[in-house]
Amino acid sequence: MEFALAAVVLLFLLAASDLVVGVSNDAVNFLNSAIGSRVASRRTIMIVASLGILFGATFASGLMEVARKGIFNPEAFSYAEVMAIFLAVMLTDILLLDLFNTYGLPTSTTVSIVFELLGAAVAVALFRLTASGESWTLLPEFINSAKAGEIIGGIFLSVGVAFTVGAIVMFVARLLFTFRYGKTGRVVHILWSGIALAAIAYFLLIKGLKGASFVSDDFRGWTQDHTWMVLGGVWGAMTLLAGILSALRVSLLHTIVLAGTFALAMAFAGNDLVNFIGVPLAGMESFRAWNGSGLPADQFMMDVLAQPYKANTLILLLAGAIMAVTLWTSRKARSVTDTEVNLARADAGAERFHGNWIARGVVRMAHNSARLFGGVVPGALARSVEARFVPAPPVSNPPAFDLVRASVNLTTASVLIAVATNMKLPLSTTYVSFMVAMGTSLADRAWGRESAVFRVSGVLSVIGGWFLTAAVAFTVAGLFALLIRSLGNPAVVVLALVAVATLVHTFRLHRRRSTKEAAIKADDLQGAEFVVDPRTQSASDLAELLEAVADALQVALDAMQLEDHRRLRKLRLAFGDRLDRNERQLDTLPQRLAQDIGIQRIPGLGKGRILDHDLRQDLLVSTFSLLRQAEQHVANLLPPFTKVQMEALQAYGVELQQFLRSHAEALRLGRSGLEPAMVERCSLERIRLLTLLDQLISTHASSLQLHKKSDRTASLFFHWVLETKDIVAVSGRLVRLHAGWLREADTKASPILVELA
């Protein structure tokens, strides 16, 4: 009895955790349009969304049936079996959603809970049939196959429908508004706003009445029987409201986006709250029924779960409060939102996803189809359409997309969810919201030649993750349920501890990823306006890099001598991050130079920046290659350097460190450190060091020839020497570049590449 009660308590603890990870993933559904368009401050957007969540939480009562009898037939299972299913589902759900949140990928909490319930129920049913010697053909008696099939089919059908409808509506909206929507007539704004606000209001009405715990069945039935009359009245009222707001000089598009954010946040709480607390509430009711029965847990059948159920409004509000707090505090919620905003943004630049052969094939096919279609469309019509899609003049630090697209995203998603709800068709709010946003991006020509492959690759990656969600949820929940049924209480304890350890690990992993991404964003933003001379800042950053290279080479030599693989791996990862950051800066360099107001007042700034990034890339590639080769050598347990080789490298390393640090000091001093005399001294040091390298190579090459010997350690030795040769050469070029760059003379006419050769 005590453990049975503890299992119910564990379910509610898991529910609280599931609310946190669930909101972190599903926040993208209602935040992406408002944040992407910067309709208001982030604080205002979060307040609107939080109110929507709290309001929508009270509408979730009618949807709790999914966890109780929507996937399996509860009367076919005993109390012990149902609790095994519920515990397995909650443990799996937390781990699965947290994994997606950690990597910033949106997935469907509806799909996860449906397939977890299905997988766990199938596993428990098969376990009983096997234990009793009955045929597996009796499995359909345990599963609500018709309802489960309807839910699954509706969810995946919504993907294609949402993308197509979103693209069509966006195309029409852009024809109406163009990208200069501020110049569009007031009548167009009022009519569009009337339709959009009516759709959002109808959506609120339909979603709210369907699950509200305080609305009578008679009133709910009347609204469904008089749908068109209700819809007409709502449209008339909203059009009148739009006219009044327009007369008061209130921005209608801002109003639509904020209203849509509230509506989708409400829908998320009303529709998806069941995914987080439906199972624990069903578990609590199961315990109450069994506790008063006096029967063993394996003999008490769960017919009680097949009865209608209304959740306590206070419990729903408490769950809504947890979700609202999580919305404000979760870094993972911001990561998932950033992924969708990045895929939908209007401008090109650094992309999160890399291209793949499927994305290239899709884009190539679409490009060829567009060319074929373009040959059929009359020229006058094509020119007229093209004129409506001329981008607005670029501005500094623009939003990811404009208010027109944001309003289409929210309105279209609201209509699709409302229609499906009214027709009692199940769907995933995540799938609908995401695919509408992707469809509008395509129609709005956000996926141009510079970004199409990367955006399509990102969309395919997210969709692939959705199918992976279903497969993993089914398999892992089934495995957990099987372990709990076969091993009993110890399995529950072990699985709970594993879940806690995994959450701690992913929290640390996400924190490291967030720190890295924050540094990258800071690099991307650097350059719009400078408080200090950008040349001085660049020289200071380069000095830090040269010192980091010097330290890394010394630490790597020590780790090689001690055969410390972990230390080498840590070094290699650190410089891999530096290399990735510099590559990203190179990708965004054209955009940064275009926004750089300082390029007009500092001679040669653009050229200097380009060459500086290029030489840093050479320096980082050489260092990374050296560290990777050393790490692989030690990891493969190959012989270490001989005493002669190590002594030679250590002696040379002292000279190399002194060389790099003297260059770093010269760069840090700025103009005074890069006077012609200092540059000449650095050049002489470079020549002396390269001479030492030449002697080192000759000596050890002769030794190998003399002993007729060839081994992997010698290969690593020469790889190390040759990479450091490149480091020495590039370091000297960087100093000469910055010396010329800091001179007052106009360097536009100066042949920098010839000087650096």
Residues 307-350: tens digit of each pLDDT: 766 666 777 778 878 878 887 877 766 666 666 677 666 665 56
Residue 530 lies in a domain: no
Asked whether the predicted pLDDT for residue 116 surpasses 60, the reply is yes
Q: Which two tokens stand for residue 175?
A: 């024809």
**Rounded CA gap, 653 and 191, in Å?**
74
CATH of the domain at 698: 1.20.58.220
**Rounded CA gap, 235 and 241, in Å?**
10
Output the pLDDT for position 333.
66
**Rounded CA gap, 281 and 319, in Å?**
12
Output the pLDDT for position 152.
72
Q: Residue 131: which pLDDT band, with cuts at 50, 70 and 90?
A: confident
Asked whether the predicted pLDDT for residue 693 surpasses 50, the reply is yes
Instruction: Kindly report the average pLDDT of the chain as a whole number.
Output: 77
Where is the domain boundary, 485, 504, 523?
504
- What sign does the dihedral 575-580-586-590 (CA atoms) show? negative
Asked whether the predicted pLDDT for residue 746 surpasses 60, the reply is no
Residue 510 lies in a domain: no
Calculate mean pLDDT across residues 160-175. 88
Q: Residue 17: which pLDDT band, with cuts at 50, 70 and 90?
A: confident
CB neighbours of 542 closer than 8 A, spacing ≥ 6? 612, 616, 664, 667, 734, 738
CB 603 within 8 A of CB 746: yes
Q: What is the largest CA-CA distance in the chain?
A: 100
Choose the weakest-confidence range: 411-425, 458-472, 488-502: 411-425
Residue 521 lies in a domain: no
Both 184 and 114 in one domain: the answer is yes
Both 420 and 540 in one domain: the answer is no
Q: Residue 694: which pLDDT band, with cuts at 50, 70 and 90?
A: confident
CB 107 within 8 A of CB 465: yes
Asked whether the predicted pLDDT for residue 624 surpasses 80, the reply is yes
Residue with more model confidence, 745 or 674: 674
What is the number of other CB atoms lying within 10 angstroms of the CB of residue 224?
A: 14
Both 237 and 305 in one domain: the answer is yes
Where is the domain boundary, 504, 526, 554?
504
Percentage of the chain lying above the pLDDT 90 cut: 3
**Rounded CA gap, 743 and 749, in Å?**
13
Q: Give pLDDT tens digits for 216-232.
A: 666 666 766 777 787 78
Q: Residue 62: which pLDDT band, with cuts at 50, 70 and 90?
A: very low
Residue 617 lies in a domain: yes
Asked whether the predicted pLDDT for residue 756 surpasses 60, the reply is no
Output the pLDDT for position 79.
85
Q: Give pLDDT tens digits for 698-734.
A: 877 776 654 545 578 888 888 888 888 888 888 888 8
Q: Residue 542: which pLDDT band, with cuts at 50, 70 and 90?
A: confident
Both 636 and 687 in one domain: the answer is yes
Both 240 and 128 in one domain: the answer is yes
Output the pLDDT for position 72.
79
Q: b/e map of 581-599 (b: 16 or more CB within 10 Å)?
A: bbebbeebbebbeebbeeb
Q: Which domain holds residue 156?
A: 2-390+405-504
DSSP 225-267: HTHHHHHHHHHHHHHHHHHHHHHTT--HHHHHHHHHHHHHHHH
Helices then strands (H, E): number in the chain? 25, 0
Tokens 């443990």 identify what position?
Answer: 91
- What sign does the dihedral 313-317-318-319 (CA atoms) show? positive
Output the pLDDT for position 592.
61
Residue 142 lies in a domain: yes
Residue 650 lies in a domain: yes
CB neighbours of 708 closer than 8 A, spacing ≥ 6? none
Closest CA to 115 of 487, 466, 459, 432: 466
Calculate mean pLDDT across residues 153-180. 85
Distances (CA, A) of 165 to 157, 176, 343, 436: 13, 17, 18, 7
Q: In DSSP terms, which residues pair with 78 in a beta bridge?
A: 301
CB neighbours of 429 closer than 8 A, spacing ≥ 6? 26, 29, 108, 110, 264, 267, 268, 271, 272, 413, 417
Q: How many domains does the chain have?
A: 2
Both 350 and 484 in one domain: the answer is yes
Asked whether the predicted pLDDT for residue 214 surpasses 50, the reply is yes
Both 498 and 610 in one domain: the answer is no
The backbone torsions φ and ψ at residue 143, rounded to the nearest 5 degrees and listed phi first, read: -110, 135
Alpha helices (runs of H) in 375-488, residue ranges in sequence order: 379-388, 403-422, 429-443, 452-487
Both 499 and 544 in one domain: the answer is no
Where is the domain boundary, 452, 481, 504?
504
Residue 318 lies in a domain: yes
CB 61 within 8 A of CB 213: yes
- What sign does the dihedral 488-490-493-496 (CA atoms) show? negative
Residue 72 lies in a domain: yes
**Rounded CA gap, 372 and 231, in Å?**
41
Asked whether the predicted pLDDT for residue 745 surpasses 50, the reply is no
The model's pTM is 0.69
Asked whether the predicted pLDDT for residue 248 surpasses 60, the reply is yes
Both 691 and 566 in one domain: the answer is yes
**Rounded CA gap, 311 and 304, in Å?**
15
Both 557 and 430 in one domain: the answer is no
Q: Residue 749: which pLDDT band, with cuts at 50, 70 and 90?
A: very low
Output the pLDDT for position 479.
93
Both 261 and 339 in one domain: the answer is yes
Asked whether the predicted pLDDT for residue 251 surpasses 80, the reply is yes
H or E, element range at 57: helix 42-57
**Rounded CA gap, 732 and 615, in Å?**
10
Choose the weakest-confidence range: 108-112, 309-313, 630-634, 730-734: 309-313
Output the pLDDT for position 588.
66
Half-sphere CA count of 65, side-chain side, radius 13 A: 15
Both 221 and 349 in one domain: the answer is yes
Output the pLDDT for position 599.
47
Calculate mean pLDDT across residues 485-490. 85
Closest CA to 440 of 417, 420, 411, 464: 411
Q: In DSSP terms, which residues pair with 555 in a beta bridge?
A: none
Q: Residue 278: which pLDDT band, with cuts at 50, 70 and 90?
A: confident
Q: Residue 691: which pLDDT band, with cuts at 50, 70 and 90?
A: confident
